[in-house]
Amino acid sequence: MPARPRIDDAALPLGLQPRTVFVTGKGGVGKSTVSAALALAWRDAGARTLLVEIEGQASSAAMLSNKKIGYNATPLGEQLCALRITLNDALKEYARLRLKVKLVADRLVSNPIMDQFAQAAPGFRELLVLGKLWALASETDDRGRPKWDAIIVDSPATGHGLGLLGMAGVIARMFPVGPIHTQAKAVDAFVRDPARVGVVLVSLPEELPVTETLELHDELRARGIDVVASVLNGLLVDRFSDAEAAHADELIQSSDDLDPALRHALETVLWEHMRCTDQATERARLEAGLDLPSAVLPYMFAPQLTREHIASLARWFMPAGQERLHAQLAGADDGPAAAAAVHAGEAGPA
């Protein structure tokens, strides 16, 4: 077995020590993209990393590799694996663990009664998923050390994500005795252990996603679940100054017979600048409402995100990339020209 590389603290995304994180946020904010980029960034900082997707959700591992991802960890590269939790397999694994006889467990799982039960019994499915994650976070290598430094769970959107994270606690309270209680209580203790587990909230710099993120943060805190960071995705860095936008507006207003293509070009200036102003308002609202490490990721002008884009986002995640973006957003001296470089360089920071 190769020597285990040391984790480079100075390269950690969000300054965050690797652990198990649930990546969640409003639908459409880019949870899978951020999960994949965060997995790469943690791996690059030296962490042994596992990216986890859940059945019924979009695949974040597909953003990193063409490999088919199953219930067992599939290597995607150096120190990076991915895994997909399927309910049927999780149920089988749990039944085998409890019943200790593989054949009986497998028969039980394929029995329609079990299927009905798993459908109807409150929270049973969520408990299986959380139980599997707990098992993964507790896995050790042949020298007894944790097998994974970082586990990134591409989680369901807000409502369902909250349902998932809180479910073990609900079940433990609902069923005060029995094996389900024991399991639920242990899983709940894991989910609420800030040394091992945290939530990363993903948002877009728009009104609804920001509002939803702030509400979600409060609800998670109220349930005793640690929120460790926020990620603001899809940020436009302003390529134009106020004066330039005002000038473009003036040119549009003052000439009636402006060439349509020219007019469109000037309107693009206005559109971007206005958009950036709105985004700044929402970013300020998010940062004022959350006392958390936060990362910003630039909007990618691309018809479809490719692996190169995810790699670029992973580099923006690193401390040097964040420093540059934050300086830019705060109004750096080199101003709009440097901002243009952010959007021009698909490769991200060096």
Partner 1 sequence: MSPSPKRPRRRRVDAHKLGDRLRELDVLLVCGSGGVGKTSIAATIALDEAMRGRRVCVLTIDPAKRLAQAMGLDRLDDRERKVKLPAGAADGGSLHGLMLDPKTAFDRLVAEASATDEERERILANRVYQQVSQSTAGMQEYMALERLYELDRGGKYDLIVVDTPPASHARELLESPHRMLRFLNGRSLRWFLKPGAKMGKFGLKALGGSGGPVVGILERITGAQMLRDTTEFFESVEGIIGQASDRIKVVERMFASPKTGFLAVTSPERESVEQAVAFWELLEERHYRFVGTVVNRIEPLAPGSLTSQAELEALDGIDTSFATRIVAAQVDHAELARRDGSRLDELADATGDALTISVPRLPRIVNDLDGLRELAPFLAT
Residues 139-178, interacting with partner 1 (CB under 8 A): 157, 163, 167, 170, 174-178
268 interacts with partner 1 by CB under 8 A: yes
Q: Is 284 in the site for partner 1 (CB under 8 A)?
A: no
**Is position 26 an interface residue for partner 1 (rule: CB under 8 A)?**
yes
Which of 4, 102, 145, 264 is in the footprint of partner 1 by CB under 8 A?
264
Give the sheet arrangement for strand 150-154, strand by strand: 74-77, 80-85, 49-54, 150-154, 20-25, 197-203, 227-235, 294-298
Query: Among residues 7 and 135, whose Cβ is nearest to partner 1?
Result: 135
C-alpha span between 61 and 91 (Å, rounded):
23
- Please say which residue, 26 or 315, places its beta carbon nearer to partner 1: 26
Place of tokens 């990216």: 51
347 binds partner 1 (CB under 8 A): no
Q: Which is nearer to partner 1, 62 or 292 (CB)?
A: 62
| In contact, 319 and 11? CB cutoff 8 Å | yes
Q: Is 95 in the site for partner 1 (CB under 8 A)?
A: yes
3-state SS assignment for residue 260: helix
Residue with tokens 């994270």: 165
Give yes or no for residue 193 binding partner 1 (CB under 8 A): no
Asked whether the beta carbons of 127 and 171 are under 8 A apart, the reply is yes
Smallest gap, in angstroms, from Cβ of residue 70 to partner 1?
Answer: 21
Among 9, 141, 218, 265, binds partner 1 (CB under 8 A): 265
Nearer to partner 1, 111 or 140 (CB): 111
Which residue among 17, 89, 181, 280 contacts partner 1 (CB under 8 A)? 181
- The C-alpha torsion from 100 through 101 and 103 to 104, rounded to 10°, is -90
Site pattern 96..125 for partner 1 (x: CB under 8 A): --xx-x--x--xx--xxxx-xx-xxxxxx-
Give 13's contacts (C-beta < 8 A, 6+ positions apart). 38, 41, 42, 45, 295, 314, 317, 318, 319
